[in-house]
Amino acid sequence: SKISVVHCFYFRGGAELLFDGVKKHQVTLPCQPEPWDIRNLLKWIKQNLLKERPELFMQGESVRPGILVLINDADWELMGELDYQLQDKDNVLFISTLHGG
């Protein structure tokens, strides 16, 4: 059986306002048969962490344009974006680059 692993998710640049102002979440993801990828992670975040205005964080099954995603300080575009499979103790950082409005 697979063990569930703890990950840290960080929300910055205003994105934390959608998560009750909490910037760092230490999360143990539930066990599932297939490995966790960012696509499934975003669904889980939307259902379990996101407190308000999901349209400001998500667009379709991905993050909306203007949200920068870093996996262990590397741009997720270099890591396979939604298909990136989470590794033990990965840090995932979501930074909103959208301000005001």
State pTM to two decimals: 0.89
Does residue 10 form part of some domain?
Answer: yes
Q: Flag whether 62 is in a domain.
A: yes
Query: Residue 4 to residues 7, 9, 32, 85, 89: CA-CA distances in angstroms?
Result: 10, 15, 9, 14, 10
In whole angstroms, give the CA distance from residue 42 to residue 63: 8
1 domain residue, yes or no: no
Predicted confidence (pLDDT) per residue in 51-90, tens digit: 999 999 999 999 999 999 999 999 999 999 999 999 888 9
* pLDDT single digits (tens) 15-28: 999 999 999 999 88
Q: What is the CATH number of the domain that holds 62?
A: 3.10.20.30
Q: What digits encode the pLDDT tens for the residues 85-94?
A: 998 889 999 9
Domain that holds residue 28: 6-96
